[in-house]
Chain A
């Protein structure tokens, strides 16, 4: 049996983190903000069929950036986790915190034990109940299983720092849906680019809906709410 070369654990972890970060940075970003009726999630996603944002349970949504096949697998695992939990206990017992912790465990385990870390960053959002019994929650989970509990907004993916700076300046409490979309899209696009409705995937978790709070905003509804690009998007703006 040959002895493997010794590599310092710090180096292993650093290499893995760099690898994951690089993969995530290649994808487009996503932003979640709280607005007056709940939580709004806006992703830059030119595809109409491959989703980055989706429903997990009655009041819980999932969003992921990075490698699609990997966060899709996590999404389905989340749906299974939530449905199993709701079936064996009660629908009220399914919450975002438990799910976020389960995700964190898996991500952490893969990060430390597998050859390749998952190149994803995910968001688990839960909208509070209409009677005020619970509050809105945003859990931002990194590729290594780090969980961050965020208050008003959450930014995932590539240029997260720049986007966070922009949303920090413009976010305020009690925005309506239209204002929320305007602010979120402006933060995602920055000043140099313009994003139109075709480039966006938008969904909300709304307190005003009945049992299932998740709803996609698409088609004409999105076109009416999304800011109109002032000039036609420059060709080949890759």
Chain B
């Protein structure tokens, strides 16, 4: 590889995506609708919840291709840099590539410019990436991420959600995306309080993912047999920190214990009659 040197008028600046385009490494957009030809692997539900010290991000582990479970241990919550994280839902391949590019873009900017982007700037960068994925999204390769971080200038956690067109929406309390996001969002909405601490927020996120998995077949619940649990991370002034697996497992165990002793989940009365649904 030769050294990429540009003339002053032709310089791509601190943008890695632009550099990639100049050097011919950008991913081509598919020309035909991929939905007609093949089953794309999809990642599903991720959530982000703000609390007093920052943000908790969590995601289930399931990846599906149509009705099949194609992967049981996919990680959907990634560190974007020291003080921010990104969680993905949608077509798994392009989503993982987007994360990789995004992480690289933040680091590339920091190295070229000698200073970090502001949190707002990072959120806008990701917005641009989602927007540039729009042609691929029209062909079935939809990627919808969540972005959250600790704003070291404002001293608080902030979170952003996106739409397919790159629209960027800053949320104050929580954000969800993916196929189970409706159910997960409702659970968080009902349980959210301004004063949540770290443990309570983790419990809330766990409960949200559990209920999403309960209602949405594409979202994976805790797999007690194989010991696979959702991945979680906290982002505070100390930076992006993964919540350890033993801690998540313990929290899930407590939730399951709680649920199995309450009446709400026990079926009472006569057996439920079949109401429509996808009975095959």
Interface of A with B (CB < 8 Å)?
51, 54-56, 73-74, 76-81, 83-88, 98, 102-103, 105-106
Contacts and interface: CB of A to CB of B under 8 A. Distances in A.
Interface stretch (B35-43, B106-114, B189-197): B106-114
Given A84-B20, A87-B25, A87-B104, A56 B5 contact: no
A54 B114 CA distance: 8
Interface of B: 1-5, 16, 19-20, 23, 25, 100-101, 104, 107-108, 111-112, 114
Nearest to A57: B111
Nearest to B19: A80
Contact of A105 (B2, B19, B100): B2
Nearest to B8: A73
A54 B104 CA distance: 17
A2 B1 CA distance: 40
Given A56-B111, A79-B111, A84-B25, 9 more contacts: A55-B111, A76-B112, A79-B112, A80-B108, A81-B3, A81-B4, A84-B23, A87-B20, A106-B3
Contact of B114 (A51, A86, A102): A51
A216 B1 CA distance: 29
A54 B112 CA distance: 10
7 contacts: A54-B114, A76-B112, A83-B111, A85-B1, A87-B16, A87-B20, A106-B2
Contacts of B111: 54-56, 79, 83
Given A83-B104, A87-B104, A78 B25 contact: no
A73 B11 CA distance: 10
A202 to B, nearest CB: 16
Q: Shortest 7 CB-CB distances between A and B: which pairs?
A: A102-B3, A80-B4, A79-B111, A77-B3, A77-B5, A106-B3, A83-B108
Nearest to B101: A87
Given A51-B114, A84-B23, A79 B108 contact: yes
A179 B163 CA distance: 55
A87 B3 contact: no
A56 B107 CA distance: 10
A81 B1 contact: yes
Contacts of A98: 1
Contacts of A54: 111, 114
Contact of B5 (A51, A73, A87): A73
Contacts of B23: 84
